[in-house]
């Protein structure tokens, strides 16, 4: 990016390091400009400049990730994959909105890969983002994902792109139940990728020469006293305790894969080699000992990584939910942005993402001036607790 555009990019990032809302969702005016209109016009020119591409805007974010790796060579890099709908039901000027399933729900789909420090759970940087519209997929990846493909179809390409960032071998891809796919597990394992995915209790696996649903395995492990007390946690604002059990399971059934052909979605049966995965069951109990949450986790991380650590890594998956909250309702007000195309929204999202990285870095800084500035920001925007971990982490 040429120096003049780099300077404009830096100014835009500074303008996004503040709380926005319904009435002030546009860029704020910097100190050297007299009106917000001038700031808005400058932002419009930047976001519609053909020389400003999404891969170029992602480079500073990826450089943050690479610096993190150089400073933490032994840490595991948690790559959190997730998707969130951006709703613009009344923004008729956005001609490329897509339907979200109802006549009154239109907008875009945002996909994000967030790097989280596996040592302490701190969010580091979004390293890949994509925005799906009715017309195209605007992505930081080159080439962009196939618009006709499903989210799961595109996960493999995302994993491959992460490999090109030079984050080393200690990389774990963490995905929610949407990625519970035997065909994907086989594919990712064959590619040499480490993954951690939540699954449902009705999935059937082979365990101790029996074909059983996971819920039956959980009951047997509990009956045999295999659950060990783990760490104390907070569940919905109340103290709780996490209990863990682990075993190995074999997935040897044929998989099902969805394929689009001639505008139709076909379900194909796909055979494959059996694979062995770690099954980690996390049971969260309240102060009375009642189970309030139960997770079934599949992973292929090395056996020397303790089950308690793996369960904590999945708990940190919620960092990306907090990131989406920061974009939507706790800082950036993305669903009030007035840009009229998905491409312009995607570019501004990357600017806002870098602003989030700046805030996260400020949150972790221990220098006295950083502490003072954090106090100033919280006092200025007490309703969103801009530096609070519940918002930015």
pLDDT (mean) for 144-172: 91
Residue, of 330 and 335, whose pLDDT is higher: 335
> What does the pLDDT look like over 268-322, one tens digit per residue?
778 889 999 999 999 989 888 888 989 999 999 999 999 999 999 999 999 999 9
Alpha helices in the chain (DSSP H): 3-16, 36-47, 54-71, 151-163, 182-190, 214-223, 307-315, 318-328, 342-364, 368-380, 389-392
Confidence of residue 390 (pLDDT cuts 50, 70, 90): very low
The mean-pLDDT minimum among 17-26, 270-279, 359-368 falls in 17-26
Q: CA 180 to CA 20: how far, in whole Å?
A: 36
Residue-averaged pLDDT of the chain: 85
Characterize the bridge pairing of strands 275-285 and 238-251. antiparallel
Q: Is the pLDDT of residue 233 over 90?
A: no
Rg of the chain, C-alpha, whole Å: 22
| Side-chain-facing half-sphere of 169: CA atoms under 13 Å | 3
Residue, of 34 and 235, whose pLDDT is higher: 235
Q: Are 332 and 348 in contact, with CB atoms under 8 Å apart?
A: no
Q: Is the pLDDT of residue 383 over 60?
A: no
The continuous run of DSSP H or E covering 333 comes out as none
pLDDT (mean) for 356-368: 81
Residue by residue, DSSP assigns 104-159 as T-EEEEEEEEEEEETTT--EEEEEEEEEE-SS-EEESSSSPPPTTS-HHHHHHHHH
| Side-chain-facing half-sphere of 322: CA atoms under 13 Å | 24
Would you state the pLDDT for residue 192? 96
Please report, in angstroms and rounded to a whole number, the separation of the first and last CA atoms in the chain.
Answer: 30
Q: Are 241 and 284 in contact, with CB atoms under 8 Å apart?
A: yes
Neighbours of 90 (CB within 10 A): 9
At residue 66, the 3 state secondary structure works out as helix
Residue, of 183 and 37, whose pLDDT is higher: 183
Q: Is the pLDDT of residue 386 over 50?
A: no
Q: Looking at mean pLDDT, say which of 7-16, 267-276, 294-303, 352-361 comes out highest.
A: 294-303
Confidence of residue 34 (pLDDT cuts 50, 70, 90): low
The mean-pLDDT minimum among 94-108, 191-205, 239-253, 364-378 falls in 364-378
Confidence of residue 374 (pLDDT cuts 50, 70, 90): low
Of the candidates 195, 193, 370, the residue with the CA atom closest to the CA atom of residue 299: 195
Q: 126 pairs with which residues across the strands?
A: 114
The mean-pLDDT minimum among 140-144, 257-261, 269-273 falls in 257-261
**What is the pTM assigned to this prediction?**
0.87
| Side-chain-facing half-sphere of 330: CA atoms under 13 Å | 20
Q: CA 207 to CA 210: how far, in whole Å?
A: 5
Confidence of residue 393 (pLDDT cuts 50, 70, 90): very low
Characterize the bridge pairing of strands 171-175 and 194-199. parallel
Would you state the pLDDT for residue 371? 63
Given CA atoms 61, 84, 195, 306 in this order, what sign does their dihedral have?
Answer: positive
The mean-pLDDT minimum among 4-13, 166-175, 350-359 falls in 4-13
Residue, of 375 and 334, whose pLDDT is higher: 334
Greatest distance between any 2 Cα atoms in the chain: 74
Would you state the pLDDT for residue 268? 76
Of the candidates 102, 152, 174, 181, the residue with the CA atom closest to the CA atom of residue 320: 174
Would you state the pLDDT for residue 150? 83
């Amino acid at each position: 990016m040429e120096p003049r555009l780099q300077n404009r990019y830096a100014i835009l990032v500074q303008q996004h390091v503040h709380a926005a809302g319904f009435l002030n969702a546009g860029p704020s005016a910097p100190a050297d400009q007299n009106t917000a209109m001038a700031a808005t016009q400058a932002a419009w020119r930047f976001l519609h400049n053909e020389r400003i591409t999404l891969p170029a805007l992602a480079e500073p974010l990826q450089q943050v990730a690479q610096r993190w790796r150089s400073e933490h060579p032994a840490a595991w890099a948690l790559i959190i994959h997730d998707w969130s709908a951006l709703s613009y039901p009344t923004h008729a000027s956005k001609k490329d909105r897509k339907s979200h399933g109802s006549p009154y729900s239109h907008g875009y789909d945002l996909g994000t890969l967030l790097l989280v420090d596996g040592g302490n759970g701190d969010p580091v940087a979004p390293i890949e983002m994509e925005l799906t519209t009715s017309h195209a997929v605007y992505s930081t990846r080159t080439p962009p994902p196939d618009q006709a493909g499903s989210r799961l179809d595109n996960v493999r390409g995302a994993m491959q792109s992460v490999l090109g960032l030079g984050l080393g071998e200690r990389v774990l891809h963490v995905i929610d139940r949407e990625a519970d796919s035997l065909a994907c597990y086989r594919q990712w394992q064959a590619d040499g990728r480490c993954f951690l995915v939540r699954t449902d209790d009705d999935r059937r696996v082979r365990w101790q020469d029996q074909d059983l649903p996971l819920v039956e395995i959980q009951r047997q492990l509990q009956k045999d006293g295999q659950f060990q007390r783990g760490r104390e946690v907070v569940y919905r604002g109340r103290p709780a305790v996490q209990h863990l059990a682990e075993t190995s399971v074999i997935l040897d059934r044929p998989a099902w894969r969805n394929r689009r052909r001639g505008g139709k979605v076909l379900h194909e049966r796909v055979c494959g080699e059996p694979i062995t995965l770690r099954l980690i069951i996390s049971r969260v109990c309240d102060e009375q000992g009642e189970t309030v949450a139960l997770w079934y986790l599949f992973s292929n991380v090395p056996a020397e990584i303790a089950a308690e650590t793996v369960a904590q890594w999945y708990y940190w998956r919620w960092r990306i939910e907090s990131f989406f909250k920061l974009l939507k309702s706790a800082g950036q007000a993305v669903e009030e942005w007035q840009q009229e195309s998905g491409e312009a929204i995607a570019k501004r999202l990357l600017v806002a993402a870098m602003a989030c990285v700046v805030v996260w870095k400020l949150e972790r800084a221990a220098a006295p001036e950083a502490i003072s500035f954090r106090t100033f920001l919280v006092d200025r925007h007490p309703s969103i607790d801009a530096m609070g971990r519940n918002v930015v982490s």
